[in-house]
Every structure is written in C-alpha cells, then in structure tokens.
Amino acid sequence: MVKICCIGAGYVGGPTMAVIALKCPEIEVAVVDISVPRINAWNSDQLPIFEPGLDEVVKQCRGKNLFFSTDVEKHVSEADIVFVSVNTPTKTCGLGAGKAADLTYWESAARMIADVSKSSKIVVEKSTVPVKTAEAIEKILTHNSKGISFQILSNPEFLAEGTAIINLLNPDRVLIGGRETLKGKEAIQMLEDVYAHWVPKDRIICTNLWSAELSKLAANAFLAQRISSVNAMSALCEATGADITQVSYAVGKDARIGPKFLNASVGFGGSCFQKDILNLVYICECNGLPVVANYWKQVIKLNDYQKTRFVNQVVSSMFNTVADKKITVLGFAFKKDTGDTRESPAIDVCKGLLGDKAQLSIYDPQVSEDQIKRDLSMSKFDWDHPAHLQPPSPIAIEKVRVVRDAYEATKDAHALCILTEWEEFRTLDYKRIYENMQKPAFVFDGRNIVNVKRLRKIGFIVYSIGKPL
C-alpha cells in the first residue's frame, strides 16, 4: 500500500488530500499540521474551512484511508510520497521584504523530513514557490548521512477557493515537474499513477522542475492581469458612458480571449494573486529584468488603484464626508462561497472608510466577527504570519459593528457597499432595505450584482463599477 503524507492542513492540503483519498481507496493518506486547533477541527463535524462539497468527501474517507494528525514526524517517516503544502507568504522584513516569498515554513518542513526519514521518499512541492526552490530543497534533503535518497517533484495546485472540490475532481490539468534523470522520471510516473485514478492522461502534463514552478506563478499572473485589465477599462467606462458589462461581453466573445474572468470588481483579493505576482516581480528583478518586473507590478498597482477609486467614489458621492455616517458593508470574504478573508478587498475598503471616520455595519454569511476585527487591525502582509497576530485595535472595534443579517445591517444606514458577490445579496428585498435607510440612500455595488435600473426606480442613488452614473 502506497502511503502519502501531506504537511500543511490548510485550504490546499485538506481538500487536495481528501480528493486523493476519495479517488484512491488503496492509498493511505495522512494530513499533518503543527496547528492543533486546525487538526482538531478537521477531525470534528465543523471543518476548519468552508468549501462546498468538502464535508461529504471528508465524511466518506475520514478514518478509512484519510487521517488528520499532529504527529507530523510519525506520518512523514512512514510515507512514500510527502506533499508539502505549507504557507509561503510574502516576506515582511529583511532582504526582499514586501515582495519575496518567505520560505521559513517550507525550509523547516524540509529539514524535518530530512531528520525523520528512514527510507527514500518522493517530496512534492504543492505550495506555490519561487522558481528554483526545488534546488534549495534538494540541498537540504540530500545533506543527510543516512544513505537515503529523495526525489523532488513540483506539483503546483490550481484550485480556486469556493470551487475547490469541483476543480480537484475535474481539473483542467495536473502539472508535474521533475528531474530529467531516470530516477526523476520514475518519481514523476509514481505521482502520475496517483492522479491517473481519475484524471484523464491527456490532462496530466509532465515538465522539467523549473517549468512547473514557473507555470504556477505565470498562471496566477495571467489570471490577475485579466482582472486588472477589465478593471482598468471599468474606470474608462465610467469616464465615457460605456458600460463595462457590455464591453466585457463583446471582448470575451472573441474566442481567442474567451468570456471567463472578465468581471469588473472592487479589486481582486485572496491569499495568492498579490503574493505570487510580488514574488514574480522579485524574481524578475533578481534576474536583471526590470522592464518585465515593472510590467507585472502594474497589475498590483491597478488593483490598489481600483480599491482606492471605490472608497473615493463613496466619500465624494456622499457630499465629501462619511464622518459618523452609518455605512453597511455586505460581504467581507474575498469572493463568494468561502469564509476566507485573506487579502480581501473589503479590508482595504473598510480601512479607507474608517480613515474617513465612517461607522461600519458589516455582514458576511461566512465570516466571524473575530476574523473581521482581526483583519481590520492588522498591517499589510501580517495576516499570514501567525506570530504577528495582534488583538484588534480599540479604534477599529469602536467604529465597527458586525451583525448576522443583511436587514439589520442596513437599518438606518446612509449607504450600503456590496463587496462580495454572495448569491443572497442578489435577491434581498431592496425595497424594504430602502424604506429603513436614511435618505438619500446610496448603493455602491463593488461586484456588479444588483439590477441598477430597478434600484434606481426604488429611489436609491446607485454606483456600480464601470457603469454610467
């Protein structure tokens, strides 16, 4: 029986391993983490992450061939294949601060693998890492005097949160990079055999290590670039009277461009786009390619501009002051169908409004009050470094109320800002909301989900990204 161990029971490690266990009943899969609460949650009825379809998969396999444990060393030493899916945040200090990937967690995982291994293993990079990381990892792993060998593979993950299970069950592709040696090819084959349980052969791509590592950064950069491109156009639409929905539709009809990922928004969020592009920028700079670095940097700058533009629009529309006005924020997660708030545009928008002394009333169906308050009192880049977690600042707490219902959140508000595209926000009773709000009542739709005409008819003053005012 092949044994797999995955270090890191997060948004990637948990769902990915659950699907491998589901599709490969003869493989024993252990997911390990240093975080005791996280592992306890994986072993409970309340999983640590909200992901449609995940509960069912975990329930089917847990205790049979899927195990969650904090006994990292035991499971690593017993495994044939070790996936490493730890966090790889942006460095907050030292060389490359604010750009380069912080590989502290990765390096400590690699050192632990080297220390506890008693037999040869395949070590799989599942985390997103800078190109050439495998070389560094190889150095750490092969400097053992035990006479055991390690093959390093790069197998980046392309799932998106909110659709992780669908993506894992039916991936566009699985990418496996390895050394072009006999041993390297054998290792690639072994991992390919795992995925071949459910992924068609023509969707499994095998490359060299560096192509696999770089393809992951490239894919995220291309995806984020599409959003920044459409968001750049949204600003021009507002200035000219064009409508971004119509423009995106017309542009996306070109088969070479395609219709997906062209929704204008208040900005992209999530734990990876910004981090991975900054990482790419840093790699370009280190390789003497400043023009290429600046090209990709612009994707981030445009995203920051879009968030600032949204806040400015709110304040300027409301007679240049939001001081002590109640503003409702609908949605705090970085996208629908997830409770994840990492790098959510809502954080920057709320901070901007708080900076103008607004009173915020926030509702998100999946995000807890604690999480919202923690996010609003943390500095940029600190969110993925547990050691830096600080209690929320009293100023943020004073001006922020988190409520559990959209109607309560909007009562007596001057404005509402829609920052996540939750389905339930499309079907709210906006007439009822309007009646209970201060007048004039404003709606700022950062996700283009409301029917602008209908809301204007009710009496709202509506701003929708990239649409004529």
Element (H, E) at 282: helix 273-286
341 is in an annotated binding site: no
The interface partner of residue 261, options being ligand UGA, ligand NAD, none and the CB cut-off 5 to 8 Å by kind, is ligand UGA
Other Cβ atoms closer than 10 A to 124: 24
The only residue of 4, 5, 22, 33 in contact with ligand NAD, by rule CB under 6 A: 33
**Count of residues engaged in binding ligand NAD, rule: CB under 6 A:** 26
Rounded to the nearest whole angstrom, what is the least distance from the CB of residue 208 to ligand NAD in the complex?
20
What is the Cα–Cα distance from 351 to 396, expressed in whole angstroms? 9
What is the Cα–Cα distance from 164 to 216, expressed in whole angstroms? 16
Do 93 and 276 contact (CB within 8 A), yes or no?
no
CB of 31 or CB of 61, closer to ligand NAD: 31
Rounded to the nearest whole angstrom, what is the least distance from the CB of residue 159 to ligand NAD in the complex?
5
Element (H, E) at 234: helix 209-240
114 binds ligand UGA (CB under 6 A): no
8 binds ligand NAD (CB under 6 A): yes
Query: For residues 158-187, which are near ligand UGA according to CB under 6 A?
Result: 158-161
43 is in an annotated binding site: no
273 is in an annotated binding site: yes
The interface partner of residue 268, options being ligand NAD, ligand UGA, none and the CB cut-off 5 to 8 Å by kind, is ligand UGA
Q: Is 423 exposed, middle or buried (CB count within 10 Å of its CB: 0-12, 13-18, 19+)?
A: exposed
Q: Kindly compute the dihedral angle of the four CA atoms of residues 322, 327, 332, 335, in this order, to the nearest 10 degrees.
A: -90
The interface partner of residue 101, options being ligand NAD, ligand UGA, none and the CB cut-off 5 to 8 Å by kind, is none
283 binds ligand NAD (CB under 6 A): no
Q: Which stretch binds ligand UGA (CB under 6 A): 19-27, 151-159, 196-204, 374-382?
A: 151-159
Residues with catalytic roles: 272
Q: Kindly compute the dihedral angle of the four CA atoms of residues 22, 24, 29, 35, in this order, to the nearest 10 degrees.
A: -30
* DSSP notation for 162-197: TSHHHHHHS-S-EEEEE-SSHHHHHHHHHHHHHHTT
What is the Cα–Cα distance from 177 to 187, expressed in whole angstroms? 10
- Which residue number places its CB atom closest to ligand NAD? 10
The only residue of 269, 339, 365, 466 in contact with ligand UGA, by rule CB under 6 A: 269
What is the Cα–Cα distance from 357 to 363, expressed in whole angstroms? 19
Q: Which stretch binds ligand NAD (CB under 6 A): 154-162, 168-176, 343-351, 408-416?
A: 154-162
Q: What share of the chain is helix, strand, coil (3-state, %, to 5)?
A: 45, 15, 40
The interface partner of residue 354, options being ligand UGA, ligand NAD, none and the CB cut-off 5 to 8 Å by kind, is none
220 binds ligand UGA (CB under 6 A): yes
Hey, CA dihedral for 191, 63, 16, 151, is it positive or negative? negative
Number of helices (H) and strands (E), helices first, in the chain? 18, 14
128 binds ligand UGA (CB under 6 A): yes
Joined together, the tokens standing for residue 305 give 């501009």
159 binds ligand NAD (CB under 6 A): yes
355 is in an annotated binding site: no
The interface partner of residue 87, options being ligand NAD, ligand UGA, none and the CB cut-off 5 to 8 Å by kind, is ligand NAD
CB of 267 or CB of 466, closer to ligand NAD: 267
265 binds ligand UGA (CB under 6 A): yes
What is the Cα–Cα distance from 393 to 390, expressed in whole angstroms? 8
57 is in an annotated binding site: no
339 binds ligand NAD (CB under 6 A): no
Helix (H, G, I), strand (E, B) or coil at 268: coil
Helix (H, G, I), strand (E, B) or coil at 123: strand
Q: Which residues pair with 447 in a beta bridge?
A: none
Joined together, the tokens standing for residue 381 give 């880049």
Query: For residues 223-252, which are near ligand UGA according to CB under 6 A?
Result: 223, 227
305 binds ligand UGA (CB under 6 A): no
**Sequence ranges of the binding site:** 8-13, 33, 38, 86-90, 127-128, 161, 272-275, 342
Q: Which residues bind ligand NAD (CB under 6 A)?
A: 7-13, 33-35, 38, 72, 85-88, 105, 108-109, 127-128, 157, 159, 161, 271-272
Q: Which residues bind ligand UGA (CB under 6 A)?
A: 128, 157-161, 220, 223, 227, 261-263, 265, 268-273, 334-335
